[in-house]
A and B are shown apart, each in its own frame.
Chain A
Amino acid sequence: MLVNVEFYGIPRSRAQVPSASATGVTLGEILQDLAARFPALGETCFHGSLLKPGFVANLRGDRFVSDPNTVLQDGDKLLLLSMDAGG
């Protein structure tokens, strides 16, 4: 299962790319795949298969998700971002 991941805010600065493809069936698997390829991203933003506090994920621009068991579809777009707006 291939998912297109877009990075915003701190996730982008850690990944140092605006987007990347990732492999996995669930959100948790996607995060682990990303952590393996982008260690700085994983260290700052993930705790195993979970997002650390301060970071959130959004599926297809529609809904925010955090459950590592959330099942994604092939070709899905996943957005990783820093929590909190404001300013």
Chain B
Amino acid sequence: MNTPGYHGRYLRVDLTTAQASSVAIQPDVLRQFIGGSGLGVYLLLHEGAAVVDPLAVAAPIAFVFSPLVGSPLTTSAKFAVVCKSPLTDRINDSLAGSAFAIAGKRTGYDAILLTGRASKLSVLLIDDEQIVIEPAEELAGLTNRETQAAAGQRYGAEYQVASIGPAGERMIRYATISHDGRHAGRGGAGAVLGAKNIKAIAVRGKQRAAWADPQGLVQFAKELSERSFGPATAKYRELGTASNLLLFNRLNVLPTHNFQNGSFVGAEMISPEQLRVAREQTRSSCAACTIGCEHLYGLSGGGSVRLEYENLFALGPLCGIADSESVLQACRLCDDLGLDTISTGGTIAFAMECAQRGFIDAPWLQFGDGASMLRAIQMVVDHHDPDHPVAEKASVGNGSSCGNIGSLLALGSRRMALVIGQDTIHFAPQVKGLEIPGYDPRGLQMMALGFAVGTRGADHNRSGAYEIDFSEAVDRRDVRPESVELAIETEDKAAVMDSLILCKFLRGVLTDFYQESSEMLRLVTGWNITPYELREVGRRIVNAKKKFNILAGWTPQEDTLPERLLCQTVPEDARARLTPERLRSLITAYNLARGWNAEGWLEV
């Protein structure tokens, strides 16, 4: 008999041979890794993914559900996509919300793992026990919205569809997987799916996992939903995450002009407070969510786009853009093409600075020029510079020439810097190859630690260390090694939330996270799991990710920040200064507090 909340198996599809098999997952594995990110990392380690090129035929990619998916618990309709990142060559787990998670779990599997490569561009159809790889070359080049609309028409509304856009098809290393306007965004999972020739996955099913205590679960879910309407989520509900912008600007932690500044003179013009006055605005939410954080803003030419703090920052201040229409158009373009907005903005901002300083010959690409940013985004996917249409290979160096800017941008900022050379890597805004989110680590030094040690690279979702910076617990510009346990706590908690899976916007609603999460698991699975055991699950998952990275070639030298952020003070704030020595002392303390050695090695 299956553990309640689970189907106790995953679907393994070899796309090369078109063979599918059902693989049992042992109950102790489920209890140790829960689901979502945790279970996905376990499956990838089990598959030996760490030593495989992420774009190779043999590379696996897993869509992983969780015990809470399909329950009435608010924000639980989420799925994780776990693979080795083609951007970082390290572990990557990206999460997205909504009905795909519910329909995916109803296929009767706790995860869908793909390996191999379809012979031509295809749609993978999963309908309970029926698995079909259907050629779909006519979908080539379609945007995410077009693909999902076409799949909906062809297969019917009962199917939920996750797709890649043109960026994924062309294996851009920061391509996303999209479902219903939401994205498993970071780290290039879309490129991995593209390498498998899978344009979309369509799922439906009728199988429901049982709940251990249905009455208790419904009652708990009802109370949690009521709490979720309270002040802890008002910011998300009423303003959305974009409301961070003006505060971050005020505190000089808003990365601007490729991290050359910590504040932006045009911030007010693109703030949600201003956008709400000037534009039509609507709200939306994931399936089974009572928070409703999504705020969509109207575009001048019709249509609308979802705006979050991270895409606003990356395609606005980071590129020096104060023109709201350009920012919104850029967000829409990234959504359609299937590009991670943070990596897109970070890479283009880096290219703008390279152009400004003469490292690449692209004088048209300038900070503050919205039209050039939009052109650059399109070129990422097109791999095509209209000024140099015949160039086959990027040619850069000494600012004298540059062939195909599009193909350079498509590499992401780290690989692009390595091609350009001339020490440009010192100001490429990335950690382990993943572009840095919108938190200047010099003024948020607990977050600096979180970025540096993050197994996925610079990441605000796998480490919530900024919560500590925005509290009385530390001096955010003078964080000491004695405080690293606080960063670890946020990282472990994120690992649990990403495995349950619950939205992080729920964290302020839960008064005792581990106690209440244990109770949710007990009601769904029947496990008498203690808060202490759940904490250990978090640590186990972080350790598993670290093990993956070590197997993939991790070295201690990659746990750092770009030299710019370690050598230059934020111009607007003399106290926002981070040194290599301070960061190293934090990292060492972190490693030892994790039970690893001082450099960060653990036995694998």
Interface residues in chain A, defined as those with a beta carbon under 8 Å from any beta carbon in chain B:
6, 8-10, 12-13, 44-45, 52-56, 58, 61-66, 79, 81-87
CB distance from B166 to the nearest CB of A (A): 26
Are B242 and A55 in contact, with the CB atoms below 8 A? no
Are A54 and B472 in contact, with the CB atoms below 8 A? no
- Residues from chain A with a CB closer than 8 A to the CB of B238 are 10, 13
Residues in B255-279 with C-beta less than 8 Å from chain A:
273
Are B231 and A44 in contact, with the CB atoms below 8 A? yes
Most buried by A among B230, B234, B242, B252: B234
CB distance from A22 to the nearest CB of B (A): 17
The main secondary structure of chain B at its interface with chain A is: helix
CB distance from B28 to the nearest CB of A (A): 33
CB distance from B292 to the nearest CB of A (A): 14
Task: Kindly state the separation between the CA atoms of A43 and B475 in the bound complex, as whole angstroms.
Answer: 30
Are B231 and A53 in contact, with the CB atoms below 8 A? yes
CB distance from B11 to the nearest CB of A (A): 32
Task: Kindly state the separation between the CA atoms of A81 and B253 in the bound complex, as whole angstroms.
Answer: 15
B355 at the binding interface (Cβ < 8 Å):
no
CB distance from B453 to the nearest CB of A (A): 19
Task: Kindly state the separation between the CA atoms of A54 and B247 in the bound complex, as whole angstroms.
Answer: 15
- Residues from chain A with a CB closer than 8 A to the CB of B475 are 63
Task: Kindly state the separation between the CA atoms of A61 and B241 in the bound complex, as whole angstroms.
Answer: 20
Digitize B217-256: 1 where CB-to-A-CB distance is under 8 Å, 0 elsewhere.
0000000000000111111001111111011101110000
A54 touching B232 in the complex, CB below 8 Å, given contacts A13-B239, A82-B243 = yes
| Count: A-B pairs, CB below 8 Å | 92
- Residues from chain A with a CB closer than 8 A to the CB of B507 are 84
Interface size on B, residues (CB 8 A): 39
Interface residues in chain B, defined as those with a beta carbon under 8 Å from any beta carbon in chain A:
230-235, 238-244, 246-248, 250-252, 273, 293, 308-310, 439, 460-461, 464, 466-467, 470-472, 475, 504-505, 507-508, 575
- Residues from chain A with a CB closer than 8 A to the CB of B243 are 8-10, 82
CB distance from B189 to the nearest CB of A (A): 20
CB distance from A66 to the nearest CB of B (A): 6
- Residues from chain B with a CB closer than 8 A to the CB of A55 are 231
Closest to B243 in A: A9
- Residues from chain A with a CB closer than 8 A to the CB of B230 are 54
Are A83 and B508 in contact, with the CB atoms below 8 A? yes
Are A85 and B232 in contact, with the CB atoms below 8 A? no
